[in-house]
Amino acid sequence: MRCAWAHIVYHRASRLLMVLTHAPRVFLFALLLYDLTSFRGDYLAQVIGVHNPSIPAALDVLMGLIVTAAFVLPFTAIGLEAVSPCCCRRSFAAGRRSAWCKPG
Protein backbone atom coordinates (compact mmCIF):
# COMPACT_ATOMS: atom_id res chain seq x y z
CA MET A 1 0.00 0.00 0.00
CA ARG A 2 2.84 2.39 0.79
CA CYS A 3 4.41 1.93 -2.64
CA ALA A 4 1.17 2.78 -4.42
CA TRP A 5 0.72 5.87 -2.25
CA ALA A 6 4.29 7.03 -2.87
CA HIS A 7 3.87 6.41 -6.59
CA ILE A 8 0.74 8.58 -6.74
CA VAL A 9 2.30 11.38 -4.67
CA TYR A 10 5.48 11.34 -6.76
CA HIS A 11 3.60 11.58 -10.04
CA ARG A 12 1.21 14.27 -8.75
CA ALA A 13 4.10 16.26 -7.30
CA SER A 14 6.09 16.04 -10.51
CA ARG A 15 3.12 17.29 -12.53
CA LEU A 16 2.51 20.09 -10.05
CA LEU A 17 6.18 21.05 -10.14
CA MET A 18 6.09 21.03 -13.93
CA VAL A 19 3.06 23.32 -13.97
CA LEU A 20 4.60 25.64 -11.38
CA THR A 21 7.81 26.00 -13.34
CA HIS A 22 6.36 26.26 -16.84
CA ALA A 23 3.39 28.51 -16.11
CA PRO A 24 5.51 31.57 -15.21
CA ARG A 25 7.68 30.97 -18.28
CA VAL A 26 4.66 30.89 -20.56
CA PHE A 27 3.23 33.98 -18.88
CA LEU A 28 6.51 35.91 -19.24
CA PHE A 29 6.84 34.79 -22.84
CA ALA A 30 3.32 36.07 -23.56
CA LEU A 31 4.21 39.40 -21.94
CA LEU A 32 7.37 39.58 -24.04
CA LEU A 33 5.42 38.97 -27.24
CA TYR A 34 2.86 41.60 -26.24
CA ASP A 35 5.63 44.08 -25.49
CA LEU A 36 7.39 43.44 -28.81
CA THR A 37 4.21 43.71 -30.88
CA SER A 38 2.99 46.87 -29.16
CA PHE A 39 5.61 48.99 -30.97
CA ARG A 40 4.49 47.92 -34.47
CA GLY A 41 7.95 46.71 -35.46
CA ASP A 42 9.83 49.81 -34.30
CA TYR A 43 10.98 48.34 -30.98
CA LEU A 44 14.63 47.93 -31.91
CA ALA A 45 14.75 51.38 -33.50
CA GLN A 46 13.42 52.91 -30.28
CA VAL A 47 15.82 50.90 -28.12
CA ILE A 48 18.93 51.98 -30.02
CA GLY A 49 17.61 55.50 -30.53
CA VAL A 50 17.93 55.33 -34.33
CA HIS A 51 21.69 55.68 -34.07
CA ASN A 52 23.63 53.94 -36.83
CA PRO A 53 27.32 53.83 -35.94
CA SER A 54 29.70 53.89 -38.86
CA ILE A 55 32.19 51.04 -38.65
CA PRO A 56 34.52 49.72 -41.35
CA ALA A 57 33.27 46.85 -43.47
CA ALA A 58 36.15 44.63 -42.36
CA LEU A 59 35.16 45.04 -38.71
CA ASP A 60 31.56 44.30 -39.62
CA VAL A 61 32.59 41.05 -41.32
CA LEU A 62 34.85 40.14 -38.38
CA MET A 63 32.03 40.68 -35.90
CA GLY A 64 29.75 38.50 -38.03
CA LEU A 65 32.33 35.72 -38.08
CA ILE A 66 32.79 35.91 -34.32
CA VAL A 67 29.04 35.66 -33.69
CA THR A 68 28.76 32.77 -36.15
CA ALA A 69 31.65 30.97 -34.45
CA ALA A 70 30.00 31.47 -31.05
CA PHE A 71 26.84 29.76 -32.31
CA VAL A 72 28.64 26.92 -34.12
CA LEU A 73 31.19 26.16 -31.38
CA PRO A 74 28.92 24.04 -29.11
CA PHE A 75 27.83 21.84 -32.02
CA THR A 76 31.42 21.44 -33.17
CA ALA A 77 32.51 20.49 -29.66
CA ILE A 78 29.76 17.88 -29.39
CA GLY A 79 30.69 16.43 -32.77
CA LEU A 80 34.39 16.25 -31.97
CA GLU A 81 33.67 14.72 -28.58
CA ALA A 82 31.50 12.06 -30.25
CA VAL A 83 34.16 11.23 -32.85
CA SER A 84 37.21 11.22 -30.56
CA PRO A 85 36.57 7.79 -28.94
CA CYS A 86 36.38 6.22 -32.40
CA CYS A 87 39.73 7.71 -33.40
CA CYS A 88 41.40 6.76 -30.12
CA ARG A 89 40.04 3.22 -30.27
CA ARG A 90 41.29 2.84 -33.82
CA SER A 91 44.72 4.26 -32.98
CA PHE A 92 45.39 2.32 -29.80
CA ALA A 93 43.41 -0.87 -30.34
CA ALA A 94 44.99 -4.08 -28.98
CA GLY A 95 48.35 -2.47 -28.27
CA ARG A 96 49.11 -1.74 -31.91
CA ARG A 97 50.71 1.53 -32.85
CA SER A 98 49.16 3.50 -35.61
CA ALA A 99 50.90 5.73 -38.13
CA TRP A 100 50.26 8.65 -35.78
CA CYS A 101 52.21 7.18 -32.86
CA LYS A 102 55.45 5.89 -34.21
CA PRO A 103 58.23 5.47 -31.67
CA GLY A 104 60.86 8.22 -31.85
pLDDT string in tens for the chain (104-residue length): 567 777 777 777 777 777 888 888 899 999 888 887 877 767 777 777 766 667 888 888 899 999 999 999 988 888 888 877 766 655 555 555 555 555 54
Residue 27's pLDDT is 93
CA–CA distance, 91 with 102 (Å, rounded to integer): 11
CB 101 within 8 Å of CB 91:
yes
Residue 93's pLDDT is 53
Residue 62's pLDDT is 92
